[in-house]
Amino acid sequence: MDEVSTFTYKEFFNTLFTIPKTLRLIFILEKKYAYLIVILNLVTALIPLVNLYVNQALINSLMFSTETVIKILVLYFFIQCISTIFSQLENYMKEKFEANLSYSLNIKLMETTSALELTDYEQSDMYNMIEKVTQESTYKPFQLFNAIITAFAACISLFASLFFIGTWNGVVAVLLLIIPILSLVLFLRIGQLEFITQWKRADSERKTWYIVYLLTHDFSFKEIRLNNTSQYFISKYSHLKRKFINQDLTIQRKRAYFESLLDLLLNAVNILVILIMIFAVKSGEILVGNLISLMQALAKINTYSLSVIQSIYIVYNTSLFMQQLFVLLKKGETNRCRINRCYFAPQNINKLSVENVSYNYPNTTLALQDINVTIKAGELTAIVGQNGSGKSTLVKILSGLYTPTTGIIKYDNYTNNDLTTDFYQKNISVLFQDFVKYELTLKENIRLGDIFSEYTDDKIIQLLDRFNLEFLKVGGKYDLDIQLGNWFQEGRQVSGGQWQKIALIRAFLKDSSIYILDEPNSALDSVSEKEIFDYFIEKSKKNISIYISHSIDAAKNAKKIIVMHEGKIEAIGTHSELMKNCVYYRKLYYAEKFGEYHE
Ligand SMILES: Nc1ncnc2c1ncn2[C@@H]1O[C@H](COP(=O)(O)OP(=O)(O)O)[C@@H](O)[C@H]1O
Ligand SMILES: [Mg+2]
């Protein structure tokens, strides 16, 4: 955010360079309507001028025949009709344009955010940016486009009036130009202050959003009700919101103060100019008729300069925002190029080698340190270790969601650095520890594991039967179209363990080379746990299968057990080997079995 924290003219011009970029973006997204609106705007801007001429002709026609008067009146009526039609058309087109633009931009942004990296969502700065940009992008580009058109039209009218006065007295015209320029500098400073204030508080704003989310969803309701914490959250919310309101009001006060100061100055200059005009009449330099038109021009200058300043203020303020939008779009674009890089994605991987892999999260100590292990197909492997020992981090690295800080991973002979996202998408199925409970139908909850292949309902039902999901049967039959969860109409809520089984089926649906289950037993009863382990043994005969668990008992039948401790591999072996050779493993095993350490 440093780049916008101080006002320099270089940065000011840099910001203005986003204007052509925004226009290009708008014209790419909504070309037809953008042109149409520019044209309609020009036409409606010209109508008052035409009106002026017709009015003049009407007055002059009084000297001619009634027939001419009627002709001009008909013309007058005709122009009024056109004017009404065009301005209504312009309004409608603007609405349509705004709706279309925000729709296209939202789609573009969703494509961008899905091309970002997991680490982007885990850093609050980036997360704030994503939130703020996606929230405000619906109206900001249109606001900018509109303000540019208004500023442009008002500028033309302003300079026409200044020119009119300048032909009489150049010094007066320059004098009249000083105040708009002065106002502009002040307004831009306030615009920037407003932007920085809003941007800096993005994190706190997200906190208010989070409180509202907590207070309006079922998952948190139970705790909030029983612990009676709603008032706590409401006052936390008020504290933050009040701060925002005060910040906004401070800016508004500053704005009002400067505006009144400038208004006073403007009035003083106006009086001075009128005095000069009156003296010019008195000295016979100009006629009274000229005085009237000069005063009209003066009034126009006041109106148009205000309009120019206000529009430029909006242009600048929204451009600062657009700069951030472009940063995000560019990041997404770069990532998408990488993701979509056309690459041969090998399949049927039989061996996975982790070589000297370390990983550290930003601002933390090493979560993984010098990991070396080989996992082969047909060799059911378990990774055990206490909470925080690095198991889930390893899963995210193996599935390509994080790049190791040092070291490499080989999938057969392919190194992770040479592989693209589609490789992981084709080859790896993971049941994440924090799997998703899709508030969608049962069928969708399963099909989302592999939407690019065809599956018959029978195949899905087979899997449901295999995992004993009888509780989902209605009248002895599975209804794949039932809505799960309770966020939407006729939703059927299921238990945590039942959700986990559904997520497991989703992970098993895809025909992958590598299956990883991260704590699949966390919400399951011991019968289900055994069933799943048995299924996994069967499945692991021809695949690379990794079963992650904090519980040794659940994993002890694996062919190979990797023991993790504080980000490192403590030992590798079968259960009996480890019981014999690894003190730490034994300690874990007895602590689990008897609740205490036995040697
Ligand atoms: N997204 C994250 N950002 C920063 N640190 C993390 C993140 N996820 C996990 N960690 C840290 O990394 C370490 C290993 O975590 P994790 O791999 O989730 O352990 P496990 O799955 O074995 O319980 C922990 O100390 C944890 O605090
Ligand atoms: Mg974990």
- Is 66's pLDDT higher than 70? yes
Q: Which atom of ligand 1 is nearest to the CA of 548?
A: 21
Arithmetic mean of pLDDT, 176-190: 86
- Average pLDDT, whole number, for the chain? 88
Reported as a pLDDT band with limits 50, 70 and 90, residue 1 is very low
In the prediction, which pLDDT does 34 show? 87
* Residues 144/314, Cβ–Cβ less than 8 Å: yes
Distance (Å) from CA 433 to ligand 2 centroid: 6
Distance (Å) from CA 338 to ligand 2 centroid: 28
Distance (Å) from CA 200 to ligand 1 centroid: 28
- Tens digits of residue pLDDT in 298-323: 888 888 888 888 898 888 888 888 88
Reported as a pLDDT band with limits 50, 70 and 90, residue 3 is very low
Does 390 contact ligand 1 (Cβ within 6 A)?
yes
The single residue listed with the structure tokens 């004017």 is 83
* Residues 120/126, Cβ–Cβ less than 8 Å: yes
Token pair for 367: 């979560």
Distance (Å) from CA 393 to ligand 2 centroid: 7
* Closest C-alpha among 474, 519, 524, 471 to residue 496: 524
Q: Which ligand is nearest to the CA of 366?
A: 1
Choice from 120, 123, 368, 393 to test ligand 1 binding pocket (greatest atom count within 8 A of CB): 393
Question: Which residue CA neighbors atom 27 of ligand 1 most closely?
Answer: 388
Q: Which ligand is nearest to the CA of 362?
A: 1
Distance (Å) from CA 358 to ligand 1 centroid: 13
Tell me how far apart the alpha carbons of residues 561 and 382 are, in angstroms, rounded to a whole number.
Answer: 5
What 8-state DSSP symbol labels residue 364? S
* Residues 277/295, Cβ–Cβ less than 8 Å: yes
Does 387 contact ligand 1 (Cβ within 6 A)?
yes
Q: Which ligand is nearest to the CA of 386?
A: 1
- Is 56's pLDDT higher than 80? no
Distance (Å) from CA 522 to ligand 1 centroid: 17
Distance (Å) from CA 543 to ligand 2 centroid: 22
Does 393 contact ligand 1 (Cβ within 6 A)?
yes
In the prediction, which pLDDT does 10 show? 76
Q: Which ligand is nearest to the CA of 369?
A: 1
Tell me how far apart the alpha carbons of residues 487 and 3 are, in angstroms, rounded to a whole number.
Answer: 42
Q: Which ligand is nearest to the CA of 124?
A: 1
* Residues 330/338, Cβ–Cβ less than 8 Å: no
Beta-sheet strand order (sheet of 414-415): 366-376, 351-360, 406-411, 414-415
- Is 502's pLDDT higher than 90? yes
* Residues 450/509, Cβ–Cβ less than 8 Å: yes
The single residue listed with the structure tokens 């079963």 is 547
Distance (Å) from CA 22 to ligand 1 centroid: 40
Does 445 contact ligand 1 (Cβ within 6 A)?
no
Does 385 contact ligand 1 (Cβ within 6 A)?
yes
Tell me how far apart the alpha carbons of residues 101 and 142 are, in angstroms, rounded to a whole number.
Answer: 7
Task: Look up residue 81 and give its amino acid.
Answer: C
C-alpha distance from residue 248 to each of 238, 252, 364, 371 (Å)? 15, 6, 36, 52
Reported as a pLDDT band with limits 50, 70 and 90, residue 4 is very low
- Is 324's pLDDT higher than 90? no
